[in-house]
């Protein structure tokens, strides 16, 4: 199933031109994006996965478990060039993380994305957006 999804992403990239990924603002969400990029070979951009979004929705953030904090610190030390490094540093600074469901419905109107179709990057999205 995973192999088929990766193949579908590669095939769709030739039509869409670019893809974005929006996920939880935590280590796992960033690792999913990183895995998609590595396994497909596509330059999949983070969408609303940045420190500004974590700050904007800090009131809804969840406390960062100590073991997760340690795993982020290890990841940053092991992979200093990992995508969304600024977000990982902000997660450590705030000592909290954010589920994507908190912000996606507010930031993405229904006409922009849905669970049953791919999300194409808006042209205005820059690095870390």
pLDDT in tens, the chain (129 residues): 667 776 776 666 666 667 888 999 999 999 999 998 998 888 899 999 999 999 999 999 999 999 999 999 999 999 999 999 999 999 999 999 999 988 887 776 654 544 444 444 554 444 444
User: Whose structure tokens read 């996965």?
Assistant: 49
Domain that holds residue 61: 18-107
pLDDT at 70: 98
In a domain, residue 60? The reply is yes
In a domain, residue 42? The reply is yes
In a domain, residue 13? The reply is no
In a domain, residue 30? The reply is yes
Rounded Cα gap, residues 103 and 100, in angstroms: 6
In this prediction the pTM is 0.77
As for how many domains the chain has, the answer is 1
- For the record, the structure tokens of 41 come out as 């070979």
pLDDT at 8: 73
In a domain, residue 96? The reply is yes
In a domain, residue 91? The reply is yes
Number of Cβ within a 10 Å radius of residue 42:
17
């Amino acid at each position: 199933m995973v192999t088929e999804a990766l193949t579908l992403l590669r095939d769709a990239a030739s039509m869409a031109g670019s893809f974005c990924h929006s996920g939880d603002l935590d280590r796992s969400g960033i690792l999913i994006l990183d895995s998609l990029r590595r396994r497909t070979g596509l330059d999949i951009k983070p969408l609303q996965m940045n420190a500004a979004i974590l700050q904007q929705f800090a009131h809804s953030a969840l406390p960062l478990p100590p073991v997760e904090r340690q795993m982020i610190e290890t990841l940053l030390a092991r992979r200093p060039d990992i995508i969304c490094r600024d977000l990982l540093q902000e997660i450590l600074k705030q000592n909290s993380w954010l589920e994507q469901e908190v912000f996606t419905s507010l930031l993405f109107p229904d006409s922009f994305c849905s669970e049953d179709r791919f999300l194409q990057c808006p042209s205005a999205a820059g690095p870390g957006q």
